């Protein structure tokens, strides 16, 4: 660990940072561009395999630098082989989970942004860990590098919906998203990158002010403040009126749909009255409404029965054109390996 601290960690640096680093170390700015492409576009983390750089520069990279910050500890594959959950060990012996999901031609990777989480949503397994620390940009990026190198199907989508609250690690999350989007990096379209938040209103406002183009998903999970405060204590800091206001501002400013996520919890937020209140809450906002039947963990919350889920969804479907939203239903994949939405947790 001491040796690790003394070396330069290059993974996680953006193009400008790599260009500056190479110039400080007696190389050209172009060498920084080459490094950026080797690491992010090609996923090469071993300087020996970087064929177009000099032996002198390779020696510097091998002796003075670190390219890898995570190590695979365990791999779990779902029964249908379409969902894989990765348990990664970090250099400080902490752990995170990442999920690869294949659905036809789409390959979505759900990545973590924190070890644990400090938002404390009561129904989310990650919350039981408490907050340990933010991930570095390198630790976030290397999750995607590993999946890309070990799954044959091309990655089409990245979602910041793994462990942690992305907007509580704003700078590192946006830095990694920018590298995912960069044509010299991963080359993913902005519309293929989604950042989810439990509702950190000031950071959503910052996101808007910075004119960010990545998709934004907001976890509502209840149609009233009273209900939401019981399952999402963050609502006591930023209530629904503030969250809806800033969400509408994003939708109008970007001229694109914002996604509202709503986890259905039996007896908590799944009544027909809740569906009606939800419609009125988001009325007039150009949005996608993503309904997520709860994925059960060891906690007290339960998944509604299929008929209850259907009744809730039907109310929303009948009124979607009138109220200006579009209903989607996310039947989470990988529940058999605890890789579904809200199931990621590491118990040491």
Distance CA 43, CA 45 (A): 6
| Catalytic-labelled residue, pool 110, 121, 124, 341 | 341
Catalytic residue among 97, 139, 142, 165: 97
Residues facing residue 108 across a β-bridge: 101, 157
Two tokens, residue 322: 């009138």
Give whole-number Cα distances, 224 to 9, 74, 239, 328, in Å.
46, 40, 9, 21
Q: What are phi and psi of 183, to 5 degrees?
A: -65, -25
Q: Which helix (H) or strand (E) holds 148?
A: helix 137-150
| Backbone φ, ψ for residue 107 (5° rounding) | -125, 105
Is 97 designated active site?
A: yes
Which distant-in-sequence residues (6+ apart) come within 8 Å of 36 by Cβ? 14, 15, 18, 182, 184, 185
For residue 331, count other CB atoms closer than 10 A to its CB.
11
Do residues 140 and 164 make contact, with C-beta atoms less than 8 angstroms apart?
A: no
Question: SS3 of 150, please?
Answer: helix
Does 341 participate in catalysis according to the annotation? yes
Phi, psi of 136 (to 5 degrees): -75, 165
Sheet holding 70-77, edge to edge: 70-77, 83-90, 95-103, 106-110, 157-160, 193-197, 215-219, 258-264, 287-293, 325-329
Half-sphere exposure of 27 (CA within 13 A, CB side): 22
Q: Which residues are catalytic?
A: 97, 341
């Amino acid at each position: 660990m001491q040796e690790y601290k003394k070396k330069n960690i290059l993974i996680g640096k953006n193009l400008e940072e790599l260009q500056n680093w190479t110039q400080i170390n007696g190389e050209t700015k172009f060498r920084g561009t080459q490094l950026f492409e080797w690491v992010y576009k090609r996923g090469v983390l071993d300087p020996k395999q970087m064929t177009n750089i000099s032996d002198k520069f390779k020696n510097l990279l091998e002796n003075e630098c670190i390219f890898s910050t995570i190590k695979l500890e365990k791999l779990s594959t779902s029964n249908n082989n379409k969902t894989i959950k990765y348990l990664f060990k970090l250099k400080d012996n902490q752990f995170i989970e990442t999920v690869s999901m294949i659905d036809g031609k789409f390959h979505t990777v759900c990545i973590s942004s924190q070890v644990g989480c400090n938002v404390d949503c009561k129904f989310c397994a990650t919350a039981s860990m408490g907050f340990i620390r933010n991930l570095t940009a390198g630790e976030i990026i290397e999750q995607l590098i590993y999946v890309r190198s070990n799954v044959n199907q091309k990655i089409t989508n990245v979602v910041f919906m793994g462990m942690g609250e992305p907007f509580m690690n704003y700078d590192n999350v946006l830095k990694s998203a920018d590298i995912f989007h960069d044509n010299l990096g991963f080359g993913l379209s902005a519309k293929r990158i989604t950042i989810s938040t439990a509702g950190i209103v000031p950071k959503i406002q910052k996101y808007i002010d910075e004119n960010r183009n990545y998709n934004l998903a907001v976890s509502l999970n209840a149609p009233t403040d009273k209900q939401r405060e019981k399952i999402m204590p963050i609502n006591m800091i930023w209530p629904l009126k503030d969250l809806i206001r800033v969400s509408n501002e994003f939708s109008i400013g970007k001229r694109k749909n914002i996604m509202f996520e709503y986890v259905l919890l039996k007896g908590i937020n799944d009544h027909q009255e809740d569906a009606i209140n939800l419609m009125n809450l988001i009325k007039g906002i150009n949005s996608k409404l993503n309904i997520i039947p709860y994925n059960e963990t060891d906690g007290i919350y339960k998944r509604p029965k299929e008929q209850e889920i259907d009744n809730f969804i039907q109310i929303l479907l009948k009124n979607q054109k009138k109220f200006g939203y579009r209903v989607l239903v996310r039947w989470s994949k990988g529940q058999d390996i605890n890789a579904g939405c809200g199931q990621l947790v590491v118990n040491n």
